[in-house]
Amino acid sequence: MDIRDRYAPSPTGLQHIGGIRTALFNYLFAKAKNGTFVLRLEDTDRSRYDDVFTDNLYDTFKWLNFSWDEGPDIGGPYKPYIQSERVALYKAYAEKLVESGRAYYCFCSSERLDALRKEKEAAHSPETGYDRLCGNIDRTEAAARAKKEAHTIRLKIPLGETTRFTDILLGEIEWKNDDINPDPVLLKSDGFPTYHLANIVDDHLMNITHVLRAQEWLSSTPMHVILYKAFGWEAPAFCHLPMVMGQDGKKLSKRHGATSINEFRKNGYLPEALINYIALLGASYEEGKEIYTLKDLAERFSLDKLNKAPAIFDYKKLEWYNAQYIKMSSDENLAALALPFAIEMNLFGSGALGPTEKQKELFIKAMPLVKERALLLPEIPQKIAYLFSAPVPAPPDEFIPKKSNLASAIKLLQMGSDIIQEMAEEDDEGAEKIAKAKAEKEGVKLGDLLMPLRVAITGGRVSPPLFLSVRLLGADICGQRIQYSLESLRKEKV
């Protein structure tokens, strides 16, 4: 069998974690089986459709750097891949169901349906949905009325029966037809199909062999199976993927934090880290291994390694993954990734559209200062801001080592000033030797010597590595900052 699966989003919102996980699993399954991954835009909900969401979809996948084999933008043998361009097709298939007696015309107004709903709610009726009134109209009469009256087309659910299907992950599923939404609408009065009709027709005509989708669609599947039988078609294999939950055990939503991919991008996550982590939500690959490239994942993905239990989205774990990919990045690549965040925070000067060549060179050289400690991209320019402009002067207390005083801090800073020229000309090992020798000569602890020096140069006690910072800034700038701090501290002493 030639495996064909699809991602079929509705462009009514931004791409989010759940949707991308569904797309990724379909992509990985297709690649693992040398199959075909299809993108289809299910844009028949015209009341909520917006081009912004379609643009967001393409932009998101371009950023994530994985794509489809067939789709609206690249075509394929089953085009068009946009449902609004296939409306006539759905109408024709809906009419076929009416002709076969598997569906019927419904002439109920929205006012009647609304009144029916309210009546059932007031009576606390266990029955919900449509009362099948129009299903009793003579077919000849209904056909005549349909030529001149507004109408929908409803699927006739066979009552008193049980619908069965096999889910690859969940096993055998049984659903009493009487519990299915009564005679759902297939074709709306405006001629557009509902999701259910368009989905089944397209999956069949596009030869989709496997439908991997979120478990929230499980309750719709019996209706879909009935539709396949009504058409006389074989249904694809279904696999309803485990839910993605927050730490509180509830479905992941905005209350848990970022969920749209745009938010993760803005927060400074790398696409490789996001893909790596999302791929592990509800699936296992290789014991003891945590870092996977997209190629690694495709080689190892298997439906029998999916978990039935819901996956818990852990933002801290995602940060850990992001930190690993930051560490693995080359200095040049990491600088390019962090550059937009640096420009946004005016690292290179207020209103600057980008760095000068000199600033760019310094920015790249500064990456080793932060790549071992940064969790997110915005932290990078924040942590090295002192390289591009003098830091805000630290308060006197920051310069004073533990169990010491202001006078001692001034002496220690002066000692640092004496060796700053030599330190700037050495690598880390050489600079440390110079500092150690000075500390031994003066009879002070190395940490006490370096701490006020760090505060004067970087603006705080906690900063990226001092020795490389000194080399990047150079002896002159470091010397100026030390002298400024000494003058300020001496004023405080007076």
pLDDT per position as a tens digit, 69-92: 999 999 999 999 999 999 999 999
Residue 182 CA to residue 113 CA, distance in Å, equals: 13
Span 348-374, mean pLDDT?
A: 94
The strand pair at 4-7 and 36-39 is best described as: parallel
pLDDT of the residue at 494:
54
pLDDT of the residue at 351:
80
pLDDT per position as a tens digit, 195-247: 999 999 999 999 999 999 999 999 999 999 999 999 999 999 999 999 998 88
Tokens of 484: 């400024």
pLDDT per position as a tens digit, 251-300: 887 777 678 999 999 999 999 999 999 999 999 998 889 999 999 999 99
Alpha helices, DSSP H, located in 242-400: 261-266, 271-279, 294-300, 315-328, 331-344, 357-365, 367-370, 379-383, 396-399
Asked if the bond preceding 80 is cis, omega within 30° of 0, the reply is yes
Structural contact between residues 27 and 66, judged by C-beta atoms closer than 8 angstroms: yes
Q: Shortest CA distance to 167 belongs to which of 217, 204, 202, 229?
A: 217
The CATH number for 330-388, chosen from 1.10.8, 2.30.110, 1.10.260, 1.10.10, is: 1.10.8
Residue 400 CA to residue 456 CA, distance in Å, equals: 12
pLDDT per position as a tens digit, 436-465: 999 999 999 999 999 999 999 999 999 999
Classify the C-alpha dihedral 371-375-378-381 as positive or negative: negative
Average pLDDT, the chain: 94
Residue with the two structure tokens 């169990």: 403
Span 114-132, mean pLDDT?
A: 88
Structural contact between residues 296 and 308, judged by C-beta atoms closer than 8 angstroms: no
CA distances from 217 to 26, 62, 213, 252 (A): 16, 27, 7, 16
Rounded (10°) angle between helices 446-458 and 406-424: 80
Note the Cα 341 to chain centre separation in Å: 19
Span 331-345, mean pLDDT?
A: 97
pLDDT-wise least confident of 4-8, 322-326, 488-492:
488-492
Structural contact between residues 381 and 334, judged by C-beta atoms closer than 8 angstroms: no
pLDDT of the residue at 44:
86
Residue with the two structure tokens 């989905």: 199
Domain segments of the chain: what residues?
A: 86-241, 330-388, 396-493
Q: Does domain 86-241 have CATH number 3.40.50.300?
A: no
Q: Which amino acid is at 468?
A: L
- CA 474-477-478 angle, to 5 degrees, is 80
Does the pLDDT of residue 493 top 80, yes or no?
no
pLDDT per position as a tens digit, 143-195: 999 999 999 999 999 999 999 999 999 999 999 999 999 999 999 999 999 99
Which pTM does this prediction carry? 0.92
Residue 180 CA to residue 427 CA, distance in Å, equals: 73
Residue 20, number of CB atoms within 10 A of its CB: 22
pLDDT of the residue at 288:
85
| Sheet of 152-155, strand order | 103-106, 152-155, 185-187
The set of catalytic residues is 254
Residue with the two structure tokens 């003058």: 487
Residue 423 CA to residue 116 CA, distance in Å, equals: 84
Does the pLDDT of residue 329 top 70, yes or no?
yes
Instruction: Fold for 396-493, please state it.
Output: Arc Repressor Mutant, subunit A (1.10.10)
Residue 66 CA to residue 27 CA, distance in Å, equals: 8
Residue 186 CA to residue 65 CA, distance in Å, equals: 36
Residue 189, number of CB atoms within 10 A of its CB: 15
Residue 448 CA to residue 439 CA, distance in Å, equals: 9
Residue 137 CA to residue 477 CA, distance in Å, equals: 90
